[in-house]
């Protein structure tokens, strides 16, 4: 189980999540993504990053089982801080970040792709934020970057998902391809960016972040405050216990 980062000779860096069975990331996994993104931004040889995953789906959010195995609030605090750092590092990465999404992209996964610059998805990909069903909140900031406001609210309150094809129609997904061709499609798009003058691309990334109408870091941190309230009230713990009960599927 790991987050691996490799750089091709053309300046394309692949950051791969591999946490079987469903890429529900433990605390260390979120911090590993943050470290990989910061390393990418510092490396002058890196011109673009492709964030991808091995396995059944792109990301199933936080590892709730890890949280429920831990005493006190250490795992909760670690997961919240780790998600914040991972999302922030993607958004602030000095080069463009392309998310190549296969299968499910849920909870924290939406935080990752919502803060990336480009999304390319397989035709079986779907996106959602099931936080309400887990007694928590978060990632509405990032879901709102993918869908219009009222659709975001209806998805958030119901934990419904949206397909990659629908996001293609809305303009937040750039391309939808057969799953077997996802990596090739993401690399082809990355190569188009990598062929540009890297000085201009890095300047463009900074300029686009500078004119963003929403401060995504501050907005997400605000959301996390409500998650802490639900945890202190015991509501979140009750829902997480129900989720990890014997016979219950871990995700999706």
**Tell me: the pLDDT tens digits for 188-218?**
999 999 999 999 999 999 999 999 999 999 9
How far is 91 from 14, CA to CA, in rounded Å? 16
Residues 83-111: what's their mean pLDDT? 98
Residue 182, burial from CB neighbour count under 10 angstroms (0-12, 13-18, 19+): buried
Answer whether 164's CB lies under 8 Å from 121's CB: yes
- Residue 250's pLDDT is what? 42
Which domains, ranges and CATH numbers included, belong to the chain? 2-180+198-243 (3.90.226.10)
pTM (whole model) above 0.85: yes
**Tell me: the pLDDT tens digits for 41-80?**
999 999 999 999 999 999 999 988 888 787 778 888 999 9
- Residue 247's pLDDT is what? 54
Confidence of residue 248 (pLDDT cuts 50, 70, 90): low
- Residue 249's pLDDT is what? 45
**pLDDT-wise least confident of 7-11, 25-29, 210-214:** 7-11
**Tell me: the pLDDT tens digits for 136-152?**
899 999 999 999 999 99
């Amino acid at each position: 189980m790991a987050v691996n980062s490799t750089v091709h000779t053309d300046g394309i860096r692949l950051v791969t999540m591999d946490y079987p069975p469903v890429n529900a990331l433990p605390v260390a996994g979120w911090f590993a993504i943050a470290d990989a993104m910061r390393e990418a931004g510092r490396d002058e040889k890196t011109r673009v990053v492709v964030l991808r995953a091995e396995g059944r789906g792109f990301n199933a959010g936080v590892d709730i089982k890890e949280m429920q195995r831990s005493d006190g609030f250490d795992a909760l605090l670690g997961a919240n801080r780790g998600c914040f750092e991972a999302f922030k590092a993607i958004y602030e990465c000095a080069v463009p970040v392309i998310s190549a999404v296969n299968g499910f992209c849920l909870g924290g996964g939406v935080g990752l792709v919502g803060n990336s610059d480009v999304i390319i998805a397989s035709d079986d990909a779907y996106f959602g934020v099931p936080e309400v069903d887990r007694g928590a909140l978060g990632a509405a900031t990032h879901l709102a970057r993918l869908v219009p406001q009222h659709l975001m609210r209806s998805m958030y309150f119901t934990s419904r998902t949206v397909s990659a094809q629908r996001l293609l129609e809305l303009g937040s997904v750039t391309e939808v391809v057969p799953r077997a061709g996802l990596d090739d499609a993401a690399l082809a798009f990355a190569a188009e960016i990598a062929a540009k003058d890297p000085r201009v691309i890095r300047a463009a990334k900074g300029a686009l972040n500078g004119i963003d109408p929403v401060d995504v870091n501050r907005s997400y941190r605000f959301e996390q405050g409500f998650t802490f309230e639900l945890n202190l009230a015991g509501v979140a713990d009750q829902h997480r216990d129900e989720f990890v009960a014997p016979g219950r599927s871990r995700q999706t």
